[in-house]
Amino acid sequence: MFLTPELAPLVSYDPEYVTNYELGFKGTFSDGRVVLNADVFWMDYTDKQKSILLDNSDGRYGPDPNIELTQNAGQVDIYGIELELRTSPWDGAFITVDAGYLINEYNSFLVADPANPGEFIDRSQQNINDRTPDWALNASVGHSFVMGSGAQLTTTLGVYAQGG
């Protein structure tokens, strides 16, 4: 692959940089029966590294049908909100709620086009395909019973959902 002159400019890439801003809250209320944690965050990426597949079905860069290259994606914004709630509304009971919402998209993502030297393929305004859901919710309710022998039996009913 490195012997193909057209690919030479594509095999090097710059380091990536990220600045993370986060504002959060952690609190315990009602004599410890309620715990609430929440935060909002924003990650400002510059030159985020991204693997891309280059179509080589015509074999011009060697025998592999696809060539994987690492490129810098330019500008990326990742932001969201997270919430955790733990409460014990009566003795032996518990309720938990974990929720999160995430936006992650490229603001600027230009990939050098090896078929047209000096030109770029624009992949800006695409979501980042990293298998992270846009939103997620995990909730449960349960109760712990203390048996006559001192053993403890805990029942729990939970639900998990995600989207995107």
In whole angstroms, give the CA distance from residue 49 to residue 14. Answer: 8
- Report pTM: 0.71
User: Which value, to the nearest 10 degrees, does the dihedral of the CA atoms of residues 42, 43, 45, 51 take?
Assistant: -120
In whole angstroms, give the CA distance from residue 139 to residue 88. Answer: 14
Task: Read off the amino acid at residue 95.
Answer: I
- Count of structural domains, the chain: 1
Instruction: Give pLDDT tens digits for 49-59.
Output: 887 777 788 87
Give residue 59's domain range: 5-163
Strand-pairing partners, residue 144, are 154
Instruction: Give pLDDT tens digits for 72-116.
Output: 877 888 899 999 999 999 999 999 999 999 988 888 887 777 677
